Structure 1
């Protein structure tokens, strides 16, 4: 056996970019993208991506160069997921809801050489660039126009000296026969994603080729995955419940994905009548309350639940469904589906461990520990941040996620909280997720988030931020919400403070910004509640 060695023919780096080539061959005449009145086939998309990659390469953008994009889900955004890495450059998707200061920091940190800018984001990008220190290198800017959305910003006369050209002009100038740049190794960086910053400042995570992770973890890998199966991408700039239901009816949507906040949006939509045909929906990004899952499935959605991080390039755990569970009552099915699940095929290992000793916790669904992961799609580390890297990639061979969870006797993982979100009240650890799950069962509650508020006696007590549903005949008071919780959970877990808000602050990926809520709770000062 020793004489059998690796050869170029058997050691070619894997890359999801090949999915586009195959889609053009197998599904060439099938629709790839639909956006308003624009549609492309897979042959069109393949050719346009090659042309754009060619233009990037001929303009000097190559291996190791970071090319950024700030855009919503439009055809250009989809094409860039392929075209930038096909040029050899590293793709950096920027959150469209970030402020100019944060964008400026990310562009400088990543040393971005070029930024593709959606027409509705041009003002914030120009402000971000203006915040660069004097004499520091600045990225070139390319304008993505949109005649449907902003015709006044999409004519040639709208180009200013700040932009070198338009997106479509780069596509038109490119060579459709371009020999795209193959990776030299599976560890060649393909994309640079920044964490969403729900608990702290965003960190840069280079993601590598075969991880298959548009701006949140590259759309959970769906841009590449849809190419693999020759599906059709329905692009939306922005969405709400009525828009989603309208697209489902108009285009016969069969699959979609979204964070639990999207599920909640669907169930509270004014036109949420039951679906004519089932729609598969994948949810992840935050622990979904069982109540929200139950309401979603009652409309005809078939919900799948997964778990992953920017640091793992997308989902690595899924709640694999067992046929026998279909015989259970709907409420019990929703409870089981709310669990994160088991490792996906191809991932190495997951566990829940004591963060101090590294020992596995009991598989009893009660013993809490930190979720740890091990596998080939885990990041190499945080860009230019060795300290943060060493804190999560430890010498014992595990990636420590910072998520707190339990392992059930059947081997299914369930997240209980982020480690920073656990509330320690009188020595008791309180899972904010468990308290939120109870709040979501209140028929008046639209959204809920629970954080710690300083307390003179207990150290910390739960503080619940709540938004109510529209059209209520009678809005509940703070006491009503507290009494509701008292009937459904141990008293030490009951929120001692209720703060009503019209809407809870969220990241652009739909996660509630708990760090902002923690600051509000802290600014309220110490609570003086009963010792009972």
Structure 2
């Protein structure tokens, strides 16, 4: 279960294909280039347990660098290409990276970094400018055979920062062989139907945990990854048809945007090759998932988990159709719903979602985050609120940090967001609490209209009436505002903190 194995048995099979350029890298090429990269890292003095950082868009060299680090026993920290120089400086410093690999495609931020990162070895892929060294040229000086002391490294990723400054997640290294058994690969095969012949479509940025880990799992199996440089709904359908993709990982935002294509556009493409459309990262509105299953068939497989790896829930389409709205049953660690006192509550009672995992949380340089996420039983939480039914299926209500308290009533924004996104004139929606003298907080809906729809009082009145017709008055918005585009992470997560802070008069902070 490693690209090195497939380089021997299926050397000419594409390990990945860049969707836009069509550039193809075979398993033989991936193996040789990652071997050279591992030699390069050793020449820089990097030993097992050290850290490198990648600041890249979805670039053809991404996997070559990640696998080089993996087989050299390094941690590889993948950083969002959308961050400011100061935010990159924070992550590089916090994780202790000794080398940074970036590209001119990231933009002007790369020119600010050298002054902020003294002592860090700086490389660029593709077109290079000083003081960066060419990663490809440096790598080419080394042999394409394995280093003598191969050992398994892993990713060290940072939370997306939707509610605050990102935290690094640093799992312990095992010291095992580079092809040691991998739990995600086993789930990819057993739960999601991935095979060595799979063609996997990846529409999301590789710096995020799910796209990075799923694509590398495909390459452990020997499948082919189709890497989209940027998501586009119609292009996604065209790529599925062109490459006969049978598996892929999506977020609900991808589904919404594909469903809102004109019917005649959707019907142009043959997507019948899809056997397993994996989705997670954000709650999927029930009508959206119903429409996707009606369109693609019962191939949607949902999971709920975090980069922290403390728990994993899974549900296939068949079970979902009889438990609509659920994100599944626990697979890896026992699931518990707890009240404010940390004690377990009965089925169908809302509470904080905890997992009784044998794997402790591993937030880097953040013992306070570990402590606040762990209860008296040693169970750990990602901060989500939900409930379980009598069959053990989990239903998420929202994140605890997004709860609105209006007149002493707890209101979770997700329900209203899920409703608004189904309206034909709405492209995206966020619901936050804003200050209110009488009630403490009031419900505010911030809507991104569909292209060509006027953001005016008529639309505001239409959406207000739509909300009141479908939800109790307590949950309906008191204010509806409009934004040209909501601040949403490319993986689908909404930076609700930035929207909420604007209503509370807080200085806007950069998305991290």
- Alignment TM-score, normalising by the size of structure 1: 0.82
2:258 aligns to what SS in structure 1? helix
Counterpart in 2 of 1:238?
230
Q: Distance in 2 between matches of 1:208 and 1:479?
A: 54
Match of 1:317 in 2: 313
The question of 1:91 aligning with 2:72 is answered no
The counterpart of 1:445, out of the listed 426, 431, 436, is 426
Instruction: Give the corresponding residue for 1:195.
Output: 159
Equivalent of residue 112 in structure 1, options 78, 97, 122: 97
**SS of equivalent residue, structure 1 residue 291:** helix
1:408-487 paired onto structure 2 within 5 Å: 408-472=389-453, 476-487=458-469
Task: Give the CA deviation at 1:130.
Answer: 2.7
CA 1:44–1:506: 2 relative to 1, 3 Å: same
RMSD between aligned residues: 2.4
Confirm or deny that 1:362 pairs with 2:346: yes
Secondary structure of 1:487's partner?
helix
Residue 122 of structure 1 deviates from its aligned partner by 5.5
Q: CA deviation at 1:450?
A: 0.7
* Pair 1:74-2:59 in alignment: yes
Of 483, 486, 491, the match for 1:509? 491
Deviations 1:344-382 (A, max 9, x none): 3xx12122111x322222212xx2100112335553x22
| Counterpart Cα distance in 2 of 1:471 and 1:43 | 48
1:167-216: per-residue Cα shift (whole Å, max 9, x none)? 32233222222236444xxxx86221110011111111113455649311
Aligned to 1:204: 168
Residue in structure 2 matched with residue 163 of structure 1 by the alignment: 132
Within a 5 Å distance, the mapping from 1:93-492 to structure 2 comes to 93-121=78-106, 123-131=108-116, 137-145=118-126, 154=127, 159-164=128-133, 166-179=134-147, 181-183=149-151, 190-208=154-172, 210=182, 212=184, 214-217=206-209, 219=211, 221-269=213-261, 271-273=265-267, 275-276=269-270, 277-279=272-274, 280-300=276-296, 302-312=299-309, 316-322=312-318, 333=321, 336-344=323-331, 347-354=332-339, 356-364=340-348, 367-376=349-358, 378-379=360-361, 381-472=362-453, 476-492=458-474
Query: Aligned residue pairs: how many?
Result: 470
Deviations 1:222-280 (A, max 9, x none): 13210233211112222211221222222222221122112122222353336421423
Runs (5+) with no aligned partner, structure 1: 1-17, 146-153, 326-332, 525-532
Task: Tell me if the contact between 1:275 and 1:299 (Cα under 8 Å) persists in the aligned partners.
Answer: no
What is the CA distance between 1:395 and its match in structure 2?
4.4
The CA distance in 1 between the partners of 2:463 and 2:360, in whole Å, is 41
In the superposition, relative to structure 1, how do residues 212 and 163 fare at CA in structure 2: closer, same or farther (>3 Å)?
A: farther
Based on CA coordinates, which of the two structures has the bigger radius of gyration? 1
Who is 1:9 aligned against? none
The residue that corresponds to 2:501 in the other structure is 519
The alpha-carbon distance between structure 1 residues 218 and 85, as it changes in their structure 2 partners (threshold 3 A), is: farther
Q: Verify the 8 A CA contact 1:86 1:180 in the aligned structure 2.
A: no
* Distance (Å, rounded) in 2 between the aligned partners of 1:322 and 1:507: 30
Structure 1 partner of 2:10: 27
Give distance in 1, aligned partners of 2:466 and 2:130: 60
Any gaps of 5 or more consecutive residues in structure 2?
174-181, 186-205, 507-512
Alignment partners' CA distance in 2, 1:363 and 1:454: 34
